[in-house]
Amino acid sequence: PAIVEAQLAGEPLPSTEGRDASAWLLWRQDLRVHWRRLEGDEALLLELAGNGAPFAELCGHLAASASESEAALRAIALLKRWITDTLVIATHPPSKTAP
């Protein structure tokens, strides 16, 4: 974000040297572009979901690194955020119809 803001303001771009790489999410909502930094677990889960993994599998990944109650709370929080950000728009893949 600092680079984009500097570029839009016509200012010199800040250096990225010495900064850790991080995952970012970029999406559109109501014709506006949004972005935010992702935590490691969320980046992994979004990648898995994008490849068709069911929600139960995503929860399994969370449960592998946290207690059951912590994993459940994290799963609920992420799902709520994804719905709010309009990343989730259906609860199942659309059915394929013949042409």
Please name the amino acid found at residue 65. S
DSSP state of 96: P
pLDDT at 90: 74
pLDDT at 2: 76
Q: Can you tell me the distance from the alpha carbon of 57 to that of 45, in angstroms, rounded to the nearest whole number?
A: 9
Tell me the two tokens of residue 55: 């929600």
Nearby residues of 37 by Cβ (< 8 Å), 6 or more positions away: 22, 23, 24
Determine if the pTM surpasses 0.85: no
Bridge partners of 35, per DSSP, are 26
pLDDT at 1 over 80: no
